[in-house]
């Protein structure tokens, strides 16, 4: 895969790596980190010319130093506050045991990446960085390799039973100059299930990787809310591998943030597996949010669904790059993909690149992408029933987002997220 | 109650005059029917009364109990007591029918300075009203009008009317696309709201509906004007002879 990189890209990669040091840790981790560093050196960091970065400028993610991002002061209760869960708190990318719950949950083993000794993580030996490495083909994801090499903290979660409560990762942002990398690994054993929640802005700049390996019959639900801080930058990756009859569901709420790119690489490797990935993003002004999704069907009779909705105003930009790849022999694949931008004014932009690549003949795949404004007919209909203009508009915005939000299975969690969206709309009223 | 005087309306985007001086007065408790060939401006009249964009009033007035409708936002007209049952009810994916109705009812109550209905009180009311119109609980849960049949959409309009209890109801071809049974159901729904005070303006293409909703006054509209006004017998005349005779007579 090694390509000759233009001199400038090599320099940029070198400059980015200069201040970084490989973390110390258990031997298998060190090996995985060194391998990731070698991958990264081969790939180099992306430039504006990279096709995969056509709609999103990676310059600020590449920069050796992260620009500052003001810490949002708010007395709003954090997302998921009312949900019964096991909380693990990270402050500017560093695990904080004092603010966290005791990580004891039946059927779930949790270790901290920064502290694991060789023996603790026998199950993770072949896992850390493995799904990330697999996800580098056919498209390079240099920031994920960077993360595998240099992330010093995160959690390793092994699920052996049906977790009674969600595990909730809370990312607090305290330092306006924080620049962090977190790497989590989740292994859901056969027949086990877990809900993982993530919330909070995390840092001024964050690079986060989540690797999820789901064994046969396992189920993994993931819901995250990326925090409200305006200037923060984030590049995140989810790498998931699904076994036979397993389930993967992930939903992301992005509110604000000057640059957010969420990549997801999902591979259905066992028959009859189901993968749903969805996102709702709302942005106002200096907001650039990018969902880049790659779903690979490599087994029989699997279902995948991608549902991404973006509400944009005041010059905000939304990006969606989504691909469904159906490999040879992945018959009876049911693939669905929808991406939609709702423009609340004429200044905003939604850029979408939906792709299907199919090498099996007995499949049902559909995809669609639309950009539009609020439906005037619907607006008038609501108003003619007495609903005030602003309320009617907000109702239609929430209605637009609902197909994505419906992907969250827990009604309690979905209700919490809906309230955040309502609050965002409320704050934008004149 | 509803007074329309010499109302003239053109399209905003085009130089096309649609209503060319409409005069109409519906008193409290009265039922008026407007009949007329396609394209004569009946829907335009109903939209202009309820405040839809895209039309420019270039003459005349429309008031409800003396208040100038034409100066109000659509939601203000609704709060003032005007209701339009749409010829083509709009589908709104993602908004539950029940949520929509509750928001609408409470928005109007709020605008009128009344207390909002509690969830329980609302539920009790809507269940009773829906039952009369043979609207089942499942239909109330579905998104507004999405996947509803033609008849279901029209019944849903009448349900909204029954819940909002307007002063003045305008029904635009509520009978179109309905079979006889559905039409009877809709007519019963309307008749149940006739209380001697509420006014009705029933726009219809056919006399059929007027067998079930007996009008006090029938108007014939053609080419943007009311060309004849009479009693219920006028509807029968149209039914027997079509519009041709009347239009010839007027011309
Ligand atoms: N938004 C519009 N754009 C273009 N033409 C319109 C519009 N609204 C109404 N018209 C025209 O105005 C005339 C009256 O239409 P309408 O009010 O729908 O009549 P009716 O309801 O009596 O059938 C028709 O010629 C119709 O084509
Ligand atoms: Mg009409």
**Backbone phi, then psi, for A75, in 5-degree steps?**
-105, 15
Are A395 and B100 a contacting pair at CB < 8 A?
yes
Per the domain annotation, does A247 fall within a domain? yes
Tell me the pLDDT of chain B averaged across its residues.
94
Per the domain annotation, does A391 fall within a domain? no
Q: pLDDT-derived band of residue A382, with 50, 70 and 90 as boundaries?
A: very high
pLDDT above 70: residue A355? yes
Is residue B67 packed enough to be buried (19+ CB in 10 Å), middle (13-18) or exposed (0-12)?
Answer: middle
Cα B44 to ligand 1 centroid, rounded to whole Å: 6
Q: Round to whole Å and give the CA distance between B149 and B152.
A: 5
- pLDDT score, position A2: 44
Residues of A at the B interface, defined by Cβ within 8 angstroms: 375-378, 380-389, 391-392, 395-396, 398-403
Mean pLDDT of B153-175: 95
Mutate to test the pocket of ligand 1, among B8, B17, B39 (most ligand atoms within 8 A of CB): B39
Mean pLDDT of A166-176: 97
Residue A106: Cβ within 10 Å count = 10
Distance linking the first and last C-alpha atoms of chain A: 53
| Cβ contacts of A100 within 8 Å, gap of 6 or more | A87, A88, A89
Q: pLDDT-derived band of residue B26, with 50, 70 and 90 as boundaries?
A: very high
Can you tell me whether residue A310 is helix, strand or coil?
strand
- pLDDT score, position B251: 66
Mean pLDDT of A79-89: 97
Are A384 and B51 a contacting pair at CB < 8 A?
yes
Question: What is the strand order of the sheet B199-203 is part of?
Answer: B82-85, B168-172, B199-203, B31-35, B217-222, B225-230
pLDDT above 90: residue B178? no
Mean pLDDT of B33-45: 95
CATH number of residue B150's parent domain: 3.40.50.300
Question: In chain B, what residues touch A381 (CB-CB under 8 Å)?
Answer: 86, 89-90, 92, 144
- Residues β-bridged to residue A371: A341
Query: Distances in Å between the alpha carbon of A100 and those of A89, A168, A207, A208?
Result: 5, 10, 22, 20
Distance from CA of A4 to the nearest CA of B (A): 50
- pLDDT score, position A356: 97
Mean pLDDT of A388-401: 97
**Backbone phi, then psi, for B225, in 5-degree steps?**
-135, 155
Q: Which two tokens stand for residue A211?
A: 């690797």
Range of the domain at B158: 2-250
pLDDT above 90: residue B68? yes
Distance from CA of A401 to the nearest CA of B (A): 8
Mutate to test the pocket of ligand 1, among B13, B14, B44 (most ligand atoms within 8 A of CB): B44
Task: Return the minimum-mean-pLDDT range out of A111-115, A135-139, A143-147, A367-371.
Answer: A111-115
- pLDDT score, position A88: 98
Tell me the pLDDT of chain A averaged across its residues.
95
pLDDT above 60: residue A362? yes
- pLDDT score, position A119: 64
CB B214 within 8 A of CB B194: no
- Count helices and strands (H / E) in chain A: 8, 19
Can you tell me whether residue A420 is helix, strand or coil?
helix
- pLDDT score, position B137: 87
Mean pLDDT of B211-224: 95
Per the domain annotation, does A420 fall within a domain? no
Q: Round to whole Å and give the CA distance between B246 and B244.
A: 6
Q: Round to whole Å and give the CA distance between A406 and A279.
A: 10
Q: Round to whole Å and give the CA distance between A104 and A92.
A: 24
Count up the domains in chain B and report the number.
1
Beta strands in chain B (DSSP E): 2-11, 17-26, 31-35, 55-64, 67-68, 82-85, 92-96, 143-144, 168-172, 199-203, 217-222, 225-230
Instruction: For residue A386, give the chain B residue with the closest CA.
Output: B75
In chain A, the percentage of residues whose pLDDT exceeds 90 is 90
Mean pLDDT of B2-19: 97
Question: What is the strand order of the sheet A274-284 is part of?
Answer: A94-95, A86-91, A167-172, A193-199, A219-225, A247-255, A274-284, A303-313, A334-343, A364-372
Q: For the residues of B93-143, what is the DSSP string, one character each?
A: EEEEHHHHHHHHHHHHHHHTTPPPPPHHHHHHHHHHHHHHTT--HHHHHSE
pLDDT above 80: residue A124? no
- pLDDT score, position A365: 96
Residue with tokens 């591979």: A267
Count up the domains in chain A and report the number.
1
Pairing of strands B67-68, B55-64: antiparallel
| ipTM beyond cut 0.95 | yes
Per the domain annotation, does A2 fall within a domain? no
- pLDDT score, position B76: 97
Ligand 1 site, residue B42, Cβ cutoff 6 A: yes
Q: For residue range A217-246, what is the model confidence (pLDDT) as tens digits?
A: 999 999 999 989 999 999 999 999 999 999
Ligand 1 site, residue B230, Cβ cutoff 6 A: no
Element (H, E) at A125: none
Mean pLDDT of A181-197: 98
Q: Round to whole Å and give the CA distance between A253 and A223.
A: 8
Q: Which two tokens stand for residue A283?
A: 């942005």
Q: Which two tokens stand for residue A256?
A: 């604000």
Q: pLDDT-derived band of residue A10, with 50, 70 and 90 as boundaries?
A: confident
Q: pLDDT-derived band of residue A354, with 50, 70 and 90 as boundaries?
A: very high
Query: Distances in Å between the alpha carbon of A409 and those of A48, A188, A339, A397, A419?
Result: 38, 18, 20, 21, 16
Per the domain annotation, does A423 fall within a domain? no
Q: pLDDT-derived band of residue B177, with 50, 70 and 90 as boundaries?
A: confident
Distance linking the first and last C-alpha atoms of chain B: 31
Q: Round to whole Å and give the CA distance between A198 and B91.
A: 35
Mean pLDDT of B232-251: 85
- pLDDT score, position A402: 96
**Backbone phi, then psi, for A117, in 5-degree steps?**
-95, 165
Are B104 and A389 a contacting pair at CB < 8 A?
no
With b for 16 or more beta-carbon neighbours within 10 A and e for fewer, the B19-57 pattern comes to: bbebebebeeebbbbbbbbeebbbbbbbbbbbbbeebee
Q: For the residues of A311-374, what is the DSSP string, one character each?
A: EEETT-EEEEEEEEEE-TT-TT-EEEEEEEEEESSSS-EEEEEEEEEE--SS-EEEEEEEEE--
Report which protein residue has its CA nearest ligand 1's atom 18.
B43
- pLDDT score, position A26: 84
DSSP alpha helices (H): ranges in A120-215?
130-134, 142-150
Of B19, B22, B228, whose CA–CA distance to B243 is shortest? B228
Q: pLDDT-derived band of residue A115, with 50, 70 and 90 as boundaries?
A: confident
Q: For residue range B116-135, what is the model confidence (pLDDT) as tens digits?
A: 999 999 999 999 999 988 88
Are A386 and B79 a contacting pair at CB < 8 A?
yes
Is residue A187 packed enough to be buried (19+ CB in 10 Å), middle (13-18) or exposed (0-12)?
Answer: buried
Q: pLDDT-derived band of residue A27, with 50, 70 and 90 as boundaries?
A: confident
Of A161, A169, A166, A165, whose CA–CA distance to A112 is shortest? A169
Q: For residue range B80-115, what is the model confidence (pLDDT) as tens digits?
A: 999 999 999 999 999 999 999 999 999 999 998 999
**Backbone phi, then psi, for A99, in 5-degree steps?**
-90, -5
Residue B93: Cβ within 10 Å count = 16
Which residue of A386, A391, A407, A411 is the best one to mutate when testing the B interface, meaning the one whose CB has the most B CBs within 10 A? A386
pLDDT above 50: residue A339? yes
Q: pLDDT-derived band of residue B231, with 50, 70 and 90 as boundaries?
A: very high
Range of the domain at A118: 7-373
The three-point CA angle B119-B125-B128 to 5° equals 135
pLDDT above 70: residue B192? yes
CB A43 within 8 A of CB A142: yes
Question: What is the strand order of the sheet B55-64 is part of?
Answer: B17-26, B2-11, B55-64, B67-68
Per the domain annotation, does A78 fall within a domain? yes
CB A139 within 8 A of CB A46: no
């Amino acid at each position: 895969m090694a390509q000759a990189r233009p001199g400038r890209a090599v320099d940029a990669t070198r400059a980015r790596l200069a201040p970084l040091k490989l973390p110390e840790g258990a031997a298998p981790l060190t090996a995985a980190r060194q391998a990731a560093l070698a991958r990264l050196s081969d790939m180099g960091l992306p430039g504006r010319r990279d096709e995969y970065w056509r709609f999103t400028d990676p310059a600020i993610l590449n920069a050796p130093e992260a620009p500052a991002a003001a810490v949002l002061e708010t007395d709003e209760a954090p997302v998921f506050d009312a949900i019964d869960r096991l909380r693990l708190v990270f402050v500017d990318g560093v695990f904080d045991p004092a603010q966290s719950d005791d990580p004891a949950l039946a059927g779930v083993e949790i270790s901290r990446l920064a502290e694991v000794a060789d023996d603790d993580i026998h199950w993770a030996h072949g896992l850390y960085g493995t799904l990330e490495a697999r996800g580098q083909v056919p498209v390079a994801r240099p920031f994920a390799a960077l993360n595998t090499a240099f992330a010093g903290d995160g959690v390793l979660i092994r699920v052996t039973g049906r977790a009674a409560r969600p595990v909730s990762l809370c990312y607090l942002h305290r330092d306006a100059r924080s620049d962090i990398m977190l790497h989590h690994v989740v292994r859901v054993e056969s027949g086990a299930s877990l809900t993982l929640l993530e919330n909070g802005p995390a840092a001024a700049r964050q690079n986060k990787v989540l690797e999820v390996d789901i064994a046969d019959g396992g189920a993994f639900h993931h819901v995250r809310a990326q925090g409200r801080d305006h200037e923060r930058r984030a590049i995140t990756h989810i790498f998931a591998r699904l076994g036979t009859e397993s389930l993967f569901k992930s939903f992301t709420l992005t509110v604000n943030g000057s640059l957010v790119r969420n990549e997801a690489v999902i591979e259905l490797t066992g028959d009859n597996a189901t993968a749903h990935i969805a996102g709702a993003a709302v942005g106002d002004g200096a907001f650039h949010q990018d969902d880049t999704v790659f779903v690979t069907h490599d087994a029989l009779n699997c279902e995948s669904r991608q549902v991404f909705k973006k509400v944009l105003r005041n010059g905000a930009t939304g990006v969606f790059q989504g691909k469904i790849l159906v490999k040879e022999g992945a018959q009876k694949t049911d693939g669905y993909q929808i991406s939609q931008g709702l423009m609340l004014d004429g200044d905003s932009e939604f850029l979408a690149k939906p792709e299907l690549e199919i090498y099996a003949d007995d499949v049902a795949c559909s995809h669609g992408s639309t950009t539009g404004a609020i439906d005037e007919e619907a607006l008038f209909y609501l108003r003619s029933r007495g609903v005030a203009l602003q309320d009617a508009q907000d109702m239609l915005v929430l209605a637009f987002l609902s197909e994505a939000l419906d992907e969250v299975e827990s009604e309690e969690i979905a209700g919490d997220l809906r309230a955040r969206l309502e609050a965002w709309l409320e704050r934008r009223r004149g | 109650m509803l007074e329309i005087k010499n109302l003239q309306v053109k399209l905003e985007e085009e130089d096309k005059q649609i209503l060319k001086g409409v005069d109409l007065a519906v008193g409290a408790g009265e039922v008026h029917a407007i009949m007329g060939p396609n394209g004569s401006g009946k829907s335009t009249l109903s939209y202009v009364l309820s405040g839809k964009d895209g039309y420019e009033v270039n003459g005349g007035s429309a008031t409800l109990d003396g208040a100038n409708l034409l100066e109000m936002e659509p939601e203000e007209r609704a709060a003032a007591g005007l209701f339009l049952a749409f010829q083509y009810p709009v589908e709104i994916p993602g908004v539950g029918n029940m949520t929509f109705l509750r928001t609408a009812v409470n928005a109007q109550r709020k605008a009128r300075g009344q207390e909002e209905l509690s969830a329980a009180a609302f539920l009790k009311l809507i269940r009773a009203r829906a039952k009369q119109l043979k609207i089942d609980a499942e239909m109330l849960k579905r998104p507004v009008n999405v996947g509803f049949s033609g008849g279901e959409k029209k019944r849903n309009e009448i349900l909204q009317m029954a819940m909002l209890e307007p002063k003045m109801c305008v029904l635009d071809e509520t009978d179109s696309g309905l079979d006889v049974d559905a039409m009877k159901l809709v007519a019963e729904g309307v008749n149940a709201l006739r209380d001697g005070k509420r006014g009705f303006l029933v726009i219809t293409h056919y006399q059929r509906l007027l067998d079930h909703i007996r009008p006090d006054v029938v108007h014939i509209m053609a080419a943007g004007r009311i060309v004849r006004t009479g009693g219920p017998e006028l509807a029968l005349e149209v039914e027997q002879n079509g519009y041709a005779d009347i239009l010839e007579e007027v011309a």
